[in-house]
Structure 1
Amino acid sequence: MVAEVQPGLMTNDSRCGINFSEGRWPLVFIYSVVFTLALVAHLLTLGPIIQQVRSHNILGVYLLNLSLSDLLYTLTVPLWIHYYYNNHTWHMGRHVCHIAGFIYYSNTYISIFMLCFISLDRCLAVSFPLWAKAFRKPRYGWYISAFVILGVMGVHLPVALVNSNNNTLVNGSSEMKDCYDSYPLSTLVAKFNYIRITFGFLVPLALLIFCNFQVFKGVRKSSSIQDKSKRKVKLLSIWVIVIFAFCFAPYHIILFLRTIMSSLHPGSCDFDRHVHHLFSFSLAMSSLNSVADPFLYVFSSNCVREDLTEISRSFCAHLGHRWPPHSSSKLSIRQLSTRVVTSWTALDKI
């Protein structure tokens, strides 16, 4: 005898009756762009970041850990492209799914916390330069980075283990209907969502707003900082805020609404069906932080933008393209790295 299902309620096997084939191409496109741009950007900036670490710059320590986390996630993006192309069906085995999902969610919150500590470091450097000098040492950067990475992974590991028992296999094979998707949300996942929304987004957001407000106020009042340096510091702060607002906020807002509705109406699929495509799109947009992070600080310097322009001109000149007469100069990647390090060192002294 088949059990009756109340209106608006569906079993997890049905995945709320959502048509996952709709909207798959925009998702495939976004993740493809993320993979291409993020991989190139991180490979180009990893060298200068390592040079910053060698010069005992605490900003370089934060950037290196952020870059490695982003790069690790970027290498898993092709798996997600394949997943969305196949209408949210996972073909690569249960264990690969859990590893890829664990890396994705860990990277999201590692990025959030690293951006917060970078903003806090800038805030201390601008507001309390003499007092903060004793604490802005590379070893403290390594301690904080290790605390963030191990803390985030430690929190997500139990969730990954629980999630491993909730995936639905297709015909007993390694093919799964979903990977880190939950339609409707389970009670356990909903409880965990409240924790990560509060401590993984709202608290860091409040800290970020406070720190950058202090940075803007300190830079505006300072008479010892040159206008060009002020512009760099402001641009850095603005970019951090943009990443939070554009990459992380939409996903967490919709996740919060889904969690509330799941708590008020356990097992209901109505709200999930209405916001599924928007939620998937916000999840894809959150991955764009891997593209934005490498450019966050490098392109806050005018000379870096000019140097990259010269590199592109020189490269195209070798391919036989004609450029205007004033672009005949050529710049090597090594020279670019040196200028990037010089720009970052100057920024770190502020």
Structure 2
Amino acid sequence: LHKLNVLTIIVKVNYQAGHLLMSIYIIAFILGLFFNLVTIGPIIQQICRRNVLGIYLLSLSVSDLLYIVTMPLWIYYFNNNHKWNLGLGLCSLAGFSYYSNLYISIYLLCWISIDRCLAITFPLRVQAFRRQRYAWIICGLVYILVMALHCLVLYLDKLADPLNDSEQTCYETLPMTERIAMFNLIRVGFGFLLPLVVISVCYWLIPTKVQQSRGVDDQGKRKVRLLSMGVIGIFSFCFAPYHILLMVRSIAYFSVGEKQSCNFEQAMYLPFTCSLALSSLNSVVDPVLYVLASNGVREDMHLFCRKNNNGQIAPSSVSNMHILYNKPNLQ
């Protein structure tokens, strides 16, 4: 795929889906910023009540906010017909923030599922390990691991300069090379398929166990189903399209080779670019997990507002609010 073909593809995408991509990123920026800022206060309230799940949700929100602040760079990029003139540093920052948020979110959602499953399936055995200290350590390790691996991949794949000076594109390198195709397959396997299998098993075991439990009321069982559907929905809507198309492109490269894959790359470029935009919506739907996991969303919001206004929390209000699975009869 020659440089002229690359430019033709990008112009074609700009004509067909430029405004659509712009709209998706603008919506993700506005709603993601609003939802994360609105829910981060009540989530901190849950952490103050020594709620382990609140730590994972806060880590998700921080990762989302770090990515959201770079979204205007992508909005400008698409509005400028895929021409990046903001310099190498901002291009690297935008790409690093995107990929870090993507896989930090995936692994945190995976660990949330494991934590919920262990808390329900083996409540007594794992109680000693479900402490805030361990939750902070796990979140820190996820951040460090994902960011370190991303830096390592950039170095090994010689992508330290993601800015294509000849075409003025940022992180849009065509054609796909053999090393990148192999890395993409590894990324799909360990960054998406493995967490998806773990999450599916967890949310297959959790409802079964809850349905058999006499100590969980109908509202608790409903929360289990909603939280399960929420996590699976995020994976299906935000993460699956991007990784499926990434896998298809990589397999096609090994099947037909670089020279014969020009037409296929042209056909896949538009849907692949749209799947990148869809994956950015995870920063919007991640805060929904707080809503699905909380038994008293309105009360939490009201409590947070009262604390800001009065500087204190009413003890009677605190006793009425708990995050799902942290009730005594669920641990």
TM-score by length of 2: 0.88
CA distance 1:40–1:133, change in 2 (3 Å): same
2:305 to 333, 340, 343: 333
Structure 1 stretch displaced more, 38-47 or 267-276: 267-276
Contact 2:238 2:278 in 1 (8 A): yes
Contact 1:197 1:252 in 2 (8 A): yes
The code of the aligned residue for 2:71 comes to: V
- Residue matched to 2:62: 68
For 2:281 and 2:192, the matched residues in 1 are separated by 17
Residue deviations 1:61-80 (CA, integer Å, cap 9, x gap): 11111110001001111111
Structure 1 stretch displaced more, 254-263 or 47-56: 47-56
The code of the aligned residue for 1:150 comes to: I
Contact 2:104 2:146 in 1 (8 A): yes
- Residue matched to 1:121: 115
Deviation, 1:306, is: 8.4
Residue deviations 1:221-274 (CA, integer Å, cap 9, x gap): 111111111111221111000000111011100010011112231243211111
Structure 1 stretch displaced more, 159-168 or 96-105: 159-168
- Residue matched to 1:169: 165
1:152 to 136, 146, 149: 146
Structure 1 stretch displaced more, 240-249 or 138-147: 138-147
- Residue matched to 1:55: 49
- Residue matched to 2:105: 111
CA distance 1:56–1:45, change in 2 (3 Å): same
- Residue matched to 1:206: 197
Contact 1:125 1:133 in 2 (8 A): yes
The code of the aligned residue for 1:169 comes to: D
1:36 aligns with 2:30: yes
- Residue matched to 1:184: 175
Residue deviations 1:6-28 (CA, integer Å, cap 9, x gap): xxxx2246416302322110000
Deviation, 1:132, is: 1.5
Deviation, 1:160, is: 3.2
Secondary structure of the corresponding residue to residue 287 of structure 2: helix
For 2:72 and 2:137, the matched residues in 1 are separated by 32
- Residue matched to 2:130: 136
For 1:301 and 1:260, the matched residues in 2 are separated by 42
CA distance 1:46–1:15, change in 2 (3 Å): same
Aligned residues: 315
Secondary structure of the corresponding residue to residue 133 of structure 1: coil
CA distance 1:98–1:342, change in 2 (3 Å): farther
Deviation, 1:303, is: 4.2
The code of the aligned residue for 1:58 comes to: V
2:290 to 273, 294, 297: 297
- Residue matched to 2:228: 237
CA distance 1:246–1:305, change in 2 (3 Å): farther
- Residue matched to 2:281: 288
For 1:155 and 1:343, the matched residues in 2 are separated by 39
CA distance 1:230–1:340, change in 2 (3 Å): farther
CA distance 1:281–1:196, change in 2 (3 Å): same
The code of the aligned residue for 1:242 comes to: G
The code of the aligned residue for 1:29 comes to: S
For 2:44 and 2:147, the matched residues in 1 are separated by 24
1:91 to 85, 105, 109: 85
For 1:193 and 1:242, the matched residues in 2 are separated by 23
Largest Rg, 1 or 2: 1
1:197 aligns with 2:188: yes
For 1:54 and 1:13, the matched residues in 2 are separated by 57
The code of the aligned residue for 2:195 comes to: P
Deviation, 1:85, is: 1.4
- Residue matched to 1:348: 326
Contact 1:216 1:234 in 2 (8 A): yes
Contact 1:102 1:160 in 2 (8 A): no
Map 1:214-253 to 2 at 5 A.
214-253=205-244
Contact 1:24 1:87 in 2 (8 A): yes
For structure 1, the residue ranges without an aligned partner over 5 or more in a row are 1-9, 171-175, 312-330
For 2:281 and 2:87, the matched residues in 1 are separated by 26
C-alpha RMSD of matched pairs (Å):
2.4
